[in-house]
Chain A
Protein backbone atom coordinates (compact mmCIF):
# COMPACT_ATOMS: atom_id res chain seq x y z
CA UNK A 1 0.00 0.00 0.00
CA UNK A 2 2.80 2.31 0.89
CA UNK A 3 4.23 2.06 -2.58
CA UNK A 4 0.92 2.67 -4.27
CA UNK A 5 0.16 5.59 -2.09
CA UNK A 6 3.36 7.35 -2.93
CA UNK A 7 2.93 6.72 -6.62
CA UNK A 8 -0.55 8.08 -6.86
CA UNK A 9 0.48 11.52 -5.90
CA UNK A 10 2.06 11.90 -9.34
CA UNK A 11 -0.95 11.79 -11.68
CA UNK A 12 -2.02 15.25 -12.69
CA UNK A 13 -5.40 16.53 -11.70
CA UNK A 14 -6.85 16.19 -15.18
CA UNK A 15 -6.00 12.54 -15.47
CA UNK A 16 -7.51 11.64 -12.14
CA UNK A 17 -10.69 13.53 -12.93
CA UNK A 18 -11.13 11.78 -16.23
CA UNK A 19 -10.63 8.36 -14.76
CA UNK A 20 -12.95 9.18 -11.93
CA UNK A 21 -15.55 10.15 -14.45
CA UNK A 22 -15.10 6.90 -16.32
CA UNK A 23 -15.35 4.97 -13.11
CA UNK A 24 -18.83 6.17 -12.51
CA UNK A 25 -20.34 6.11 -15.95
CA UNK A 26 -23.16 3.64 -16.17
CA UNK A 27 -26.19 2.90 -18.28
CA UNK A 28 -29.08 5.33 -18.39
CA UNK A 29 -31.29 3.00 -16.39
CA UNK A 30 -28.54 2.64 -13.80
CA UNK A 31 -28.18 6.39 -13.63
CA UNK A 32 -31.88 6.77 -13.13
CA UNK A 33 -31.98 4.41 -10.16
CA UNK A 34 -28.84 6.01 -8.76
CA UNK A 35 -30.50 9.40 -8.64
CA UNK A 36 -33.82 7.95 -7.57
CA UNK A 37 -32.19 6.30 -4.56
CA UNK A 38 -30.46 9.52 -3.57
CA UNK A 39 -33.60 11.56 -4.02
CA UNK A 40 -35.77 9.13 -2.07
CA UNK A 41 -33.50 9.07 0.96
CA UNK A 42 -32.56 12.69 0.58
CA UNK A 43 -36.21 13.63 0.88
CA UNK A 44 -36.17 12.42 4.47
CA UNK A 45 -33.33 14.65 5.47
CA UNK A 46 -34.58 17.68 3.63
CA UNK A 47 -38.25 17.58 4.69
CA UNK A 48 -37.74 18.98 8.19
CA UNK A 49 -35.78 21.88 6.75
CA UNK A 50 -38.50 22.51 4.21
CA UNK A 51 -41.03 22.43 7.01
CA UNK A 52 -38.92 24.83 9.00
CA UNK A 53 -38.69 27.26 6.11
CA UNK A 54 -42.38 26.90 5.28
CA UNK A 55 -43.34 27.52 8.90
CA UNK A 56 -41.25 30.64 9.02
CA UNK A 57 -43.52 32.06 6.30
CA UNK A 58 -46.79 31.17 8.01
CA UNK A 59 -49.07 33.92 9.29
CA UNK A 60 -50.18 33.73 12.92
CA UNK A 61 -53.55 32.08 12.37
CA UNK A 62 -51.99 29.26 10.40
CA UNK A 63 -49.38 28.67 13.10
CA UNK A 64 -52.16 28.09 15.60
CA UNK A 65 -54.06 25.54 13.54
CA UNK A 66 -54.38 22.16 15.19
CA UNK A 67 -53.27 19.70 13.90
CA UNK A 68 -50.47 21.71 12.29
CA UNK A 69 -50.46 21.89 8.53
CA UNK A 70 -47.39 21.17 6.48
CA UNK A 71 -47.94 23.70 3.74
CA UNK A 72 -48.54 27.35 4.02
CA UNK A 73 -51.65 28.73 2.39
CA UNK A 74 -51.05 32.45 2.62
CA UNK A 75 -47.29 32.98 2.90
CA UNK A 76 -46.07 36.10 4.65
CA UNK A 77 -42.74 37.60 5.57
CA UNK A 78 -44.20 38.99 8.78
CA UNK A 79 -42.11 36.63 10.91
CA UNK A 80 -38.91 37.93 9.40
CA UNK A 81 -40.16 41.49 9.49
CA UNK A 82 -40.93 41.10 13.20
CA UNK A 83 -37.36 40.06 14.02
CA UNK A 84 -35.82 43.55 14.19
CA UNK A 85 -38.62 44.56 16.54
CA UNK A 86 -38.03 41.56 18.78
CA UNK A 87 -34.31 42.14 18.77
CA UNK A 88 -34.49 45.86 19.46
CA UNK A 89 -35.83 45.07 22.92
CA UNK A 90 -32.53 43.50 23.86
CA UNK A 91 -30.38 45.36 26.34
CA UNK A 92 -27.24 44.58 24.33
CA UNK A 93 -27.10 45.43 20.62
CA UNK A 94 -27.45 42.50 18.26
CA UNK A 95 -24.03 43.12 16.75
CA UNK A 96 -22.48 42.20 20.07
CA UNK A 97 -24.10 38.76 19.97
CA UNK A 98 -23.02 38.28 16.39
CA UNK A 99 -19.46 39.24 17.29
CA UNK A 100 -19.47 36.89 20.29
CA UNK A 101 -20.73 34.01 18.23
CA UNK A 102 -18.24 34.56 15.44
CA UNK A 103 -15.34 35.13 17.81
CA UNK A 104 -16.03 32.04 19.91
CA UNK A 105 -16.75 29.84 16.92
CA UNK A 106 -13.77 30.84 14.82
CA UNK A 107 -11.22 30.86 17.63
CA UNK A 108 -12.30 27.56 19.06
CA UNK A 109 -12.58 25.85 15.69
CA UNK A 110 -9.11 26.93 14.60
CA UNK A 111 -7.52 25.97 17.91
CA UNK A 112 -9.42 22.71 17.98
CA UNK A 113 -8.34 21.68 14.50
CA UNK A 114 -4.75 22.77 15.00
CA UNK A 115 -4.24 21.04 18.34
CA UNK A 116 -6.08 17.90 17.28
CA UNK A 117 -4.00 17.56 14.14
CA UNK A 118 -0.74 18.10 16.00
CA UNK A 119 -1.67 15.60 18.66
CA UNK A 120 -2.97 13.03 16.21
CA UNK A 121 0.20 13.31 14.15
CA UNK A 122 2.35 12.71 17.19
CA UNK A 123 0.18 9.88 18.50
CA UNK A 124 0.19 8.23 15.12
CA UNK A 125 3.68 8.74 13.74
CA UNK A 126 6.10 9.20 16.59
CA UNK A 127 7.21 6.96 19.38
CA UNK A 128 6.00 8.57 22.54
CA UNK A 129 5.70 6.48 25.63
CA UNK A 130 2.13 5.71 26.54
CA UNK A 131 0.61 6.78 23.25
CA UNK A 132 -1.53 3.66 23.19
CA UNK A 133 -2.80 4.47 26.64
CA UNK A 134 -3.67 7.97 25.57
CA UNK A 135 -5.52 6.68 22.58
CA UNK A 136 -7.54 4.36 24.79
CA UNK A 137 -8.41 7.29 27.02
CA UNK A 138 -9.51 9.21 23.94
CA UNK A 139 -11.84 6.44 22.89
CA UNK A 140 -13.33 6.15 26.33
CA UNK A 141 -13.67 9.89 26.73
CA UNK A 142 -15.76 10.00 23.55
CA UNK A 143 -18.58 8.44 25.52
CA UNK A 144 -18.78 11.27 28.01
CA UNK A 145 -20.47 14.36 26.69
CA UNK A 146 -20.45 17.78 28.20
CA UNK A 147 -23.69 17.33 30.08
CA UNK A 148 -22.60 14.13 31.80
CA UNK A 149 -19.49 15.84 33.10
CA UNK A 150 -21.06 19.19 33.87
CA UNK A 151 -20.59 19.14 37.65
CA UNK A 152 -16.88 18.25 37.87
CA UNK A 153 -16.18 20.54 34.96
CA UNK A 154 -17.91 23.43 36.63
CA UNK A 155 -15.64 22.98 39.62
CA UNK A 156 -12.59 23.13 37.38
CA UNK A 157 -13.84 26.28 35.67
CA UNK A 158 -14.30 27.98 38.97
CA UNK A 159 -10.84 26.94 40.22
CA UNK A 160 -9.25 28.54 37.21
CA UNK A 161 -11.57 31.53 37.30
CA UNK A 162 -12.96 30.81 33.86
CA UNK A 163 -16.59 31.41 34.76
CA UNK A 164 -18.05 34.34 32.87
CA UNK A 165 -15.23 34.66 30.35
CA UNK A 166 -14.95 33.76 26.70
CA UNK A 167 -12.54 31.02 27.66
CA UNK A 168 -15.24 28.95 29.30
CA UNK A 169 -16.88 28.57 25.91
CA UNK A 170 -13.68 28.07 23.94
CA UNK A 171 -11.49 25.80 26.04
CA UNK A 172 -13.80 22.81 26.63
CA UNK A 173 -14.60 22.77 22.95
CA UNK A 174 -10.93 22.78 22.04
CA UNK A 175 -10.28 19.91 24.42
CA UNK A 176 -12.90 17.67 22.88
CA UNK A 177 -11.50 14.32 21.84
CA UNK A 178 -13.43 13.58 18.66
CA UNK A 179 -10.96 15.50 16.50
CA UNK A 180 -7.93 13.57 17.68
CA UNK A 181 -9.71 10.28 17.26
CA UNK A 182 -10.87 11.13 13.75
CA UNK A 183 -7.54 12.53 12.66
CA UNK A 184 -5.47 9.68 14.04
CA UNK A 185 -7.64 7.07 12.42
CA UNK A 186 -7.37 8.91 9.14
CA UNK A 187 -3.63 9.54 9.30
CA UNK A 188 -2.85 5.91 9.88
CA UNK A 189 -4.19 5.00 6.49
CA UNK A 190 -3.29 8.12 4.57
CA UNK A 191 0.28 9.09 5.43
CA UNK A 192 2.89 6.59 4.29
CA UNK A 193 5.81 6.29 6.68
CA UNK A 194 8.19 6.13 3.74
CA UNK A 195 7.22 9.65 2.74
CA UNK A 196 7.98 11.00 6.19
CA UNK A 197 11.29 9.16 6.21
CA UNK A 198 12.19 10.58 2.83
CA UNK A 199 11.44 14.08 4.08
CA UNK A 200 13.57 13.44 7.12
CA UNK A 201 16.47 12.24 5.00
CA UNK A 202 16.15 15.38 2.92
CA UNK A 203 16.67 17.36 6.08
CA UNK A 204 13.21 18.56 7.00
CA UNK A 205 12.59 19.29 10.67
CA UNK A 206 9.62 18.05 12.65
CA UNK A 207 7.60 21.22 12.06
CA UNK A 208 8.38 21.26 8.38
CA UNK A 209 7.37 17.62 8.05
CA UNK A 210 4.15 18.41 9.81
CA UNK A 211 3.18 21.54 7.91
CA UNK A 212 4.48 20.72 4.46
CA UNK A 213 3.89 16.99 4.26
CA UNK A 214 1.38 15.73 6.78
CA UNK A 215 -1.08 18.63 6.61
CA UNK A 216 -1.48 18.68 2.81
CA UNK A 217 -2.09 14.93 2.73
CA UNK A 218 -4.80 15.03 5.33
CA UNK A 219 -6.52 18.06 3.84
CA UNK A 220 -9.84 16.29 3.19
CA UNK A 221 -9.93 15.24 6.82
CA UNK A 222 -8.82 18.67 7.94
CA UNK A 223 -11.75 20.24 6.13
CA UNK A 224 -14.10 17.71 7.65
CA UNK A 225 -12.73 18.55 11.07
CA UNK A 226 -13.11 22.29 10.52
CA UNK A 227 -16.69 21.64 9.55
CA UNK A 228 -17.41 19.54 12.64
CA UNK A 229 -15.73 22.03 14.90
CA UNK A 230 -17.62 24.93 13.39
CA UNK A 231 -20.92 23.11 13.53
CA UNK A 232 -20.56 22.35 17.22
CA UNK A 233 -19.07 25.65 18.27
CA UNK A 234 -21.78 27.56 16.43
CA UNK A 235 -24.46 25.86 18.48
CA UNK A 236 -22.77 26.25 21.88
CA UNK A 237 -25.18 27.35 24.56
CA UNK A 238 -23.27 27.70 27.79
CA UNK A 239 -25.33 26.46 30.70
CA UNK A 240 -24.72 28.08 34.02
CA UNK A 241 -21.26 29.27 33.10
CA UNK A 242 -21.99 32.61 31.43
CA UNK A 243 -23.98 35.22 33.29
CA UNK A 244 -22.77 38.41 31.70
CA UNK A 245 -25.26 39.32 28.99
CA UNK A 246 -22.59 40.92 26.83
CA UNK A 247 -20.73 37.61 26.53
CA UNK A 248 -23.67 35.55 25.35
CA UNK A 249 -23.89 34.14 21.86
CA UNK A 250 -26.57 33.98 19.17
CA UNK A 251 -28.14 30.65 20.19
CA UNK A 252 -29.04 32.31 23.49
CA UNK A 253 -31.16 34.92 21.75
CA UNK A 254 -32.72 32.18 19.74
CA UNK A 255 -33.77 30.50 22.95
CA UNK A 256 -35.19 33.74 24.25
CA UNK A 257 -37.29 34.13 21.13
CA UNK A 258 -38.43 30.52 21.23
CA UNK A 259 -39.42 30.91 24.85
CA UNK A 260 -42.07 33.32 23.66
CA UNK A 261 -44.47 30.42 23.08
CA UNK A 262 -46.64 29.41 20.16
CA UNK A 263 -47.23 32.91 18.90
CA UNK A 264 -43.50 33.32 18.40
CA UNK A 265 -42.93 29.97 16.74
CA UNK A 266 -42.92 31.56 13.30
CA UNK A 267 -40.18 33.96 14.36
CA UNK A 268 -38.34 31.12 16.08
CA UNK A 269 -38.31 29.24 12.81
CA UNK A 270 -37.15 32.34 10.99
CA UNK A 271 -34.22 32.69 13.39
CA UNK A 272 -33.45 29.00 13.02
CA UNK A 273 -33.31 29.30 9.27
CA UNK A 274 -30.93 32.25 9.56
CA UNK A 275 -28.79 30.45 12.14
CA UNK A 276 -28.36 27.47 9.85
CA UNK A 277 -26.87 29.44 6.99
CA UNK A 278 -23.25 29.78 8.26
CA UNK A 279 -22.66 26.04 8.92
CA UNK A 280 -24.16 25.20 5.54
CA UNK A 281 -21.86 27.72 3.86
CA UNK A 282 -18.83 26.25 5.61
CA UNK A 283 -19.91 22.83 4.52
CA UNK A 284 -20.39 23.85 0.90
CA UNK A 285 -16.97 25.48 0.81
CA UNK A 286 -15.36 22.41 2.32
CA UNK A 287 -17.08 20.09 -0.13
CA UNK A 288 -16.68 22.11 -3.27
CA UNK A 289 -14.51 20.93 -6.09
CA UNK A 290 -11.94 23.66 -5.66
CA UNK A 291 -10.98 22.33 -2.28
CA UNK A 292 -10.94 18.77 -3.45
CA UNK A 293 -8.62 19.47 -6.32
CA UNK A 294 -6.34 21.37 -3.98
CA UNK A 295 -6.08 18.40 -1.72
CA UNK A 296 -5.25 16.00 -4.49
CA UNK A 297 -2.77 18.33 -6.12
CA UNK A 298 -1.15 19.34 -2.85
CA UNK A 299 1.77 16.96 -2.86
CA UNK A 300 4.28 15.64 -5.25
CA UNK A 301 6.56 12.78 -4.66
Chain B
Protein backbone atom coordinates (compact mmCIF):
# COMPACT_ATOMS: atom_id res chain seq x y z
CA UNK B 1 0.00 0.00 0.00
CA UNK B 2 2.71 2.46 -0.79
CA UNK B 3 1.53 5.46 -2.67
CA UNK B 4 4.26 7.57 -4.13
CA UNK B 5 2.72 10.98 -4.34
CA UNK B 6 3.59 13.66 -6.83
CA UNK B 7 6.24 11.57 -8.47
CA UNK B 8 5.36 12.47 -12.03
CA UNK B 9 6.87 10.24 -14.64
CA UNK B 10 10.13 11.82 -15.58
CA UNK B 11 9.72 10.66 -19.10
CA UNK B 12 6.58 12.61 -19.84
CA UNK B 13 8.22 15.84 -20.76
CA UNK B 14 6.79 18.92 -19.20
CA UNK B 15 6.25 20.54 -22.57
CA UNK B 16 3.67 17.93 -23.38
CA UNK B 17 2.21 18.65 -20.01
CA UNK B 18 2.02 22.31 -20.90
CA UNK B 19 0.41 21.51 -24.20
CA UNK B 20 -2.21 19.48 -22.39
CA UNK B 21 -3.06 22.16 -19.85
CA UNK B 22 -2.88 25.31 -21.92
CA UNK B 23 -6.42 25.35 -23.38
CA UNK B 24 -7.91 24.77 -20.01
CA UNK B 25 -5.70 27.33 -18.30
CA UNK B 26 -6.80 30.01 -20.75
CA UNK B 27 -10.39 29.30 -19.76
CA UNK B 28 -9.51 29.29 -16.10
CA UNK B 29 -7.75 32.64 -16.29
CA UNK B 30 -10.49 34.29 -18.33
CA UNK B 31 -13.56 32.97 -16.59
CA UNK B 32 -12.38 32.35 -13.08
CA UNK B 33 -9.14 34.04 -12.10
CA UNK B 34 -9.96 37.39 -13.62
CA UNK B 35 -13.59 37.55 -12.40
CA UNK B 36 -12.58 36.39 -8.92
CA UNK B 37 -9.89 39.04 -8.82
CA UNK B 38 -12.44 41.57 -9.98
CA UNK B 39 -14.87 40.59 -7.24
CA UNK B 40 -12.04 41.03 -4.75
CA UNK B 41 -11.72 44.61 -5.97
CA UNK B 42 -15.48 45.08 -5.65
CA UNK B 43 -15.12 44.60 -1.90
CA UNK B 44 -13.31 47.90 -1.66
CA UNK B 45 -15.43 49.80 -4.10
CA UNK B 46 -18.82 51.23 -4.71
CA UNK B 47 -19.92 49.51 -7.89
CA UNK B 48 -22.62 50.83 -10.12
CA UNK B 49 -23.84 49.40 -13.36
CA UNK B 50 -24.03 52.07 -16.00
CA UNK B 51 -24.70 51.93 -19.70
CA UNK B 52 -21.87 50.06 -21.38
CA UNK B 53 -20.13 48.75 -18.31
CA UNK B 54 -19.59 49.40 -14.64
CA UNK B 55 -18.46 52.41 -12.68
CA UNK B 56 -16.32 51.91 -9.61
CA UNK B 57 -15.44 54.27 -6.82
CA UNK B 58 -12.79 53.35 -4.25
CA UNK B 59 -14.35 53.34 -0.78
CA UNK B 60 -11.71 51.50 1.24
CA UNK B 61 -12.99 49.29 4.02
CA UNK B 62 -16.51 50.75 4.07
CA UNK B 63 -18.19 47.63 2.79
CA UNK B 64 -16.48 45.37 5.30
CA UNK B 65 -17.27 47.72 8.14
CA UNK B 66 -20.84 47.88 7.02
CA UNK B 67 -21.51 44.18 6.86
CA UNK B 68 -20.00 43.53 10.27
CA UNK B 69 -21.17 46.55 12.21
CA UNK B 70 -24.28 47.92 10.63
CA UNK B 71 -25.87 44.98 8.90
CA UNK B 72 -28.28 43.49 11.43
CA UNK B 73 -28.43 40.08 9.83
CA UNK B 74 -25.03 39.24 8.43
CA UNK B 75 -23.19 38.14 11.59
CA UNK B 76 -26.16 36.01 12.54
CA UNK B 77 -26.46 34.48 9.08
CA UNK B 78 -22.74 33.79 8.92
CA UNK B 79 -22.86 31.86 12.18
CA UNK B 80 -25.94 29.98 11.16
CA UNK B 81 -24.53 29.17 7.73
CA UNK B 82 -21.29 27.82 9.17
CA UNK B 83 -23.14 25.81 11.81
CA UNK B 84 -25.44 24.26 9.21
CA UNK B 85 -22.44 23.22 7.12
CA UNK B 86 -20.81 21.73 10.20
CA UNK B 87 -23.57 19.24 10.79
CA UNK B 88 -24.91 18.60 7.29
CA UNK B 89 -21.62 17.87 5.54
CA UNK B 90 -20.46 14.92 7.69
CA UNK B 91 -23.93 13.40 7.56
CA UNK B 92 -24.07 13.73 3.79
CA UNK B 93 -20.57 12.34 3.43
CA UNK B 94 -21.20 9.26 5.56
CA UNK B 95 -24.67 8.54 4.23
CA UNK B 96 -23.58 8.84 0.61
CA UNK B 97 -20.61 6.58 1.30
CA UNK B 98 -22.87 3.92 2.78
CA UNK B 99 -25.33 4.13 -0.08
CA UNK B 100 -22.54 4.32 -2.66
CA UNK B 101 -20.92 1.17 -1.33
CA UNK B 102 -24.26 -0.61 -1.15
CA UNK B 103 -25.10 0.35 -4.71
CA UNK B 104 -21.81 -0.95 -6.07
CA UNK B 105 -22.67 -4.45 -4.88
CA UNK B 106 -24.28 -7.02 -7.13
CA UNK B 107 -27.98 -7.42 -6.57
CA UNK B 108 -31.13 -7.40 -8.59
CA UNK B 109 -32.49 -4.01 -9.45
CA UNK B 110 -29.17 -2.27 -8.88
CA UNK B 111 -29.54 -0.01 -11.90
CA UNK B 112 -33.02 0.92 -10.73
CA UNK B 113 -31.76 2.02 -7.32
CA UNK B 114 -28.86 3.87 -8.86
CA UNK B 115 -31.27 5.84 -10.97
CA UNK B 116 -33.53 6.45 -7.97
CA UNK B 117 -30.71 7.92 -5.93
CA UNK B 118 -29.46 10.05 -8.77
CA UNK B 119 -32.86 11.52 -9.61
CA UNK B 120 -32.57 14.43 -7.17
CA UNK B 121 -29.32 15.53 -8.79
CA UNK B 122 -30.97 15.62 -12.20
CA UNK B 123 -34.09 17.30 -10.95
CA UNK B 124 -32.24 19.91 -8.95
CA UNK B 125 -30.46 20.99 -12.13
CA UNK B 126 -33.74 21.82 -13.85
CA UNK B 127 -35.12 25.23 -13.10
CA UNK B 128 -38.72 24.43 -12.25
CA UNK B 129 -37.71 21.72 -9.88
CA UNK B 130 -35.07 23.90 -8.34
CA UNK B 131 -38.02 26.05 -7.43
CA UNK B 132 -39.96 23.08 -6.15
CA UNK B 133 -36.93 22.04 -4.14
CA UNK B 134 -36.64 25.46 -2.59
CA UNK B 135 -40.08 25.22 -1.16
CA UNK B 136 -39.39 21.80 0.21
CA UNK B 137 -36.22 23.04 1.83
CA UNK B 138 -38.32 25.34 3.95
CA UNK B 139 -40.65 23.97 6.55
CA UNK B 140 -42.91 21.61 4.69
CA UNK B 141 -45.78 22.04 7.08
CA UNK B 142 -45.78 25.82 6.87
CA UNK B 143 -48.69 27.64 5.31
CA UNK B 144 -48.30 27.76 1.59
CA UNK B 145 -48.56 30.84 -0.48
CA UNK B 146 -50.31 30.84 -3.81
CA UNK B 147 -47.01 30.61 -5.61
CA UNK B 148 -45.92 27.49 -3.86
CA UNK B 149 -49.22 25.95 -4.79
CA UNK B 150 -48.58 26.73 -8.41
CA UNK B 151 -45.09 25.32 -8.29
CA UNK B 152 -46.49 22.30 -6.55
CA UNK B 153 -45.07 20.59 -3.54
CA UNK B 154 -45.55 17.54 -1.44
CA UNK B 155 -47.74 18.21 1.50
CA UNK B 156 -46.42 15.87 4.12
CA UNK B 157 -48.70 17.24 6.79
CA UNK B 158 -51.72 16.33 4.73
CA UNK B 159 -50.56 12.75 4.39
CA UNK B 160 -50.02 12.64 8.12
CA UNK B 161 -53.40 14.16 8.83
CA UNK B 162 -54.82 11.46 6.62
CA UNK B 163 -53.38 8.78 8.88
CA UNK B 164 -55.05 10.43 11.86
CA UNK B 165 -52.05 11.06 14.12
CA UNK B 166 -52.11 13.86 16.73
CA UNK B 167 -50.84 17.27 15.66
CA UNK B 168 -47.60 17.31 17.66
CA UNK B 169 -46.47 13.94 16.43
CA UNK B 170 -47.44 14.97 12.93
CA UNK B 171 -45.35 18.14 13.18
CA UNK B 172 -42.41 16.23 14.55
CA UNK B 173 -42.61 13.67 11.77
CA UNK B 174 -42.91 16.26 9.04
CA UNK B 175 -39.90 18.23 10.34
CA UNK B 176 -37.80 15.08 10.55
CA UNK B 177 -38.93 13.99 7.14
CA UNK B 178 -38.06 17.29 5.54
CA UNK B 179 -34.65 17.09 7.23
CA UNK B 180 -34.00 13.63 5.83
CA UNK B 181 -35.37 14.79 2.50
CA UNK B 182 -32.92 17.66 2.32
CA UNK B 183 -30.00 15.42 3.09
CA UNK B 184 -30.97 12.68 0.65
CA UNK B 185 -31.50 15.34 -1.95
CA UNK B 186 -27.97 16.60 -1.56
CA UNK B 187 -26.46 13.11 -1.82
CA UNK B 188 -27.06 12.34 -5.50
CA UNK B 189 -23.73 13.35 -6.96
CA UNK B 190 -21.73 12.15 -3.98
CA UNK B 191 -23.22 8.68 -4.35
CA UNK B 192 -22.22 8.58 -8.01
CA UNK B 193 -18.70 9.65 -7.06
CA UNK B 194 -18.47 6.85 -4.52
CA UNK B 195 -19.80 4.31 -7.01
CA UNK B 196 -17.18 5.29 -9.57
CA UNK B 197 -14.55 5.22 -6.81
CA UNK B 198 -15.58 1.71 -5.82
CA UNK B 199 -15.06 0.59 -9.40
CA UNK B 200 -11.36 1.34 -9.21
CA UNK B 201 -10.74 -0.87 -6.20
CA UNK B 202 -9.09 -3.99 -7.55
CA UNK B 203 -11.08 -7.15 -6.95
CA UNK B 204 -7.81 -8.87 -6.13
CA UNK B 205 -7.46 -7.01 -2.85
CA UNK B 206 -10.72 -8.49 -1.61
CA UNK B 207 -9.63 -11.94 -2.71
CA UNK B 208 -6.38 -11.55 -0.81
CA UNK B 209 -8.40 -10.37 2.16
CA UNK B 210 -10.62 -13.41 1.95
CA UNK B 211 -7.67 -15.76 1.77
CA UNK B 212 -6.17 -14.08 4.80
CA UNK B 213 -9.45 -14.59 6.61
CA UNK B 214 -10.58 -11.00 6.92
CA UNK B 215 -14.14 -10.36 8.08
CA UNK B 216 -16.46 -8.00 6.22
CA UNK B 217 -15.78 -5.40 8.89
CA UNK B 218 -12.01 -5.66 8.46
CA UNK B 219 -12.42 -5.65 4.71
CA UNK B 220 -14.16 -2.31 4.98
CA UNK B 221 -11.62 -0.71 7.29
CA UNK B 222 -8.47 -2.05 5.67
CA UNK B 223 -9.39 -2.25 2.01
CA UNK B 224 -12.42 -0.20 1.07
CA UNK B 225 -11.80 2.86 3.18
CA UNK B 226 -8.09 3.36 2.40
CA UNK B 227 -8.68 2.76 -1.30
CA UNK B 228 -11.45 5.32 -1.28
CA UNK B 229 -9.37 7.95 0.48
CA UNK B 230 -8.96 10.07 -2.66
CA UNK B 231 -12.67 9.91 -3.34
CA UNK B 232 -13.46 10.83 0.25
CA UNK B 233 -11.41 14.01 -0.03
CA UNK B 234 -13.12 14.75 -3.32
CA UNK B 235 -16.57 14.20 -1.93
CA UNK B 236 -15.85 16.24 1.17
CA UNK B 237 -14.76 19.23 -0.86
CA UNK B 238 -17.65 18.78 -3.27
CA UNK B 239 -20.18 18.52 -0.45
CA UNK B 240 -18.94 21.65 1.26
CA UNK B 241 -18.95 23.59 -1.99
CA UNK B 242 -22.33 22.29 -3.02
CA UNK B 243 -23.93 22.96 0.35
CA UNK B 244 -22.63 26.49 0.67
CA UNK B 245 -23.32 27.62 -2.85
CA UNK B 246 -26.84 26.23 -2.89
CA UNK B 247 -29.72 28.63 -3.18
CA UNK B 248 -30.97 27.71 0.26
CA UNK B 249 -27.85 28.80 2.13
CA UNK B 250 -28.64 31.79 4.35
CA UNK B 251 -25.50 33.80 3.60
CA UNK B 252 -25.87 33.15 -0.12
CA UNK B 253 -29.50 34.19 -0.06
CA UNK B 254 -28.60 37.45 1.61
CA UNK B 255 -25.71 38.13 -0.78
CA UNK B 256 -27.84 37.34 -3.82
CA UNK B 257 -30.53 39.67 -2.57
CA UNK B 258 -27.91 42.42 -2.31
CA UNK B 259 -26.70 41.67 -5.82
CA UNK B 260 -30.23 41.96 -7.09
CA UNK B 261 -30.44 45.41 -5.59
CA UNK B 262 -27.09 46.24 -7.21
CA UNK B 263 -25.05 46.44 -4.00
CA UNK B 264 -22.23 44.39 -5.50
CA UNK B 265 -19.58 45.72 -3.12
CA UNK B 266 -21.35 44.50 0.00
CA UNK B 267 -22.35 41.25 -1.64
CA UNK B 268 -18.73 40.56 -2.60
CA UNK B 269 -17.55 41.39 0.91
CA UNK B 270 -20.07 38.94 2.35
CA UNK B 271 -19.24 36.18 -0.08
CA UNK B 272 -15.51 36.54 0.46
CA UNK B 273 -15.86 36.49 4.25
CA UNK B 274 -17.97 33.38 4.03
CA UNK B 275 -15.69 31.68 1.52
CA UNK B 276 -12.62 32.40 3.59
CA UNK B 277 -14.24 30.96 6.75
CA UNK B 278 -15.37 27.83 4.95
CA UNK B 279 -12.08 27.53 3.07
CA UNK B 280 -10.15 27.71 6.34
CA UNK B 281 -12.39 25.13 7.98
CA UNK B 282 -12.14 22.74 5.01
CA UNK B 283 -8.39 23.24 4.87
CA UNK B 284 -8.13 22.36 8.54
CA UNK B 285 -10.19 19.20 8.10
CA UNK B 286 -8.11 18.14 5.09
CA UNK B 287 -4.89 18.83 6.96
CA UNK B 288 -6.01 16.78 9.94
CA UNK B 289 -7.13 14.08 7.58
CA UNK B 290 -3.79 13.95 5.78
CA UNK B 291 -1.97 14.03 9.06
CA UNK B 292 -3.80 11.29 10.91
CA UNK B 293 -5.73 9.15 8.46
CA UNK B 294 -4.05 9.27 5.07
CA UNK B 295 -0.57 8.66 6.44
CA UNK B 296 -1.76 5.65 8.37
CA UNK B 297 -3.57 4.14 5.42
CA UNK B 298 -0.71 4.29 2.99
Contact = CB atoms under 8 A, between A and B. Distances in A.
Nearest to B20: A122
Contacts of B122: 231, 276, 279-280, 283
A189 B149 contact: no
A212 interface: no
B241 A197 contact: no
Nearest to A205: B16
Contacts of A287: 111, 114-115, 195
Interface stretch (B1-9, B60-68, B86-94, B165-173): B1-9
B205 A68 contact: no
Interface in A183-217: 185-186, 188-190, 193, 196-197, 200-201, 206, 209-210
Nearest to B98: A37
Contacts of A15: 203
Nearest to B226: A1
B2 A118 contact: no
A45 B188 contact: yes
A186 B155 contact: no
Interface residues of A, number: 125
Contacts of B50: none
A45 B184 CA distance: 6
A141 B128 contact: no
A140 B21 CA distance: 18
A38 interface: yes
A1 B297 CA distance: 11
A68 to B, nearest CB: 6
Interface string B167-207: 00000000001001100110111001101110110111111
B35 to A, nearest CB: 4
Contact of A48 (B136, B233, B241, B245): B136
B204 A37 contact: no
Contacts of B180: 41, 44
B134 to A, nearest CB: 12
Given A122-B17, A287-B115, A186 B152 contact: no
User: Top 9 A-B pairs ranked by shortest CB distance?
Assistant: A126-B17, A175-B27, A8-B202, A206-B16, A152-B35, A122-B20, A119-B24, A152-B38, A24-B105
30 contacts: A2-B2, A4-B204, A20-B106, A21-B106, A24-B107, A45-B184, A48-B120, A48-B136, A67-B158, A119-B23, A122-B18, A122-B20, A144-B35, A145-B245, A148-B255, A151-B38, A152-B34, A156-B35, A186-B197, A189-B229, A190-B200, A193-B8, A221-B196, A258-B128, A258-B151, A262-B150, A265-B152, A269-B152, A279-B122, A287-B115
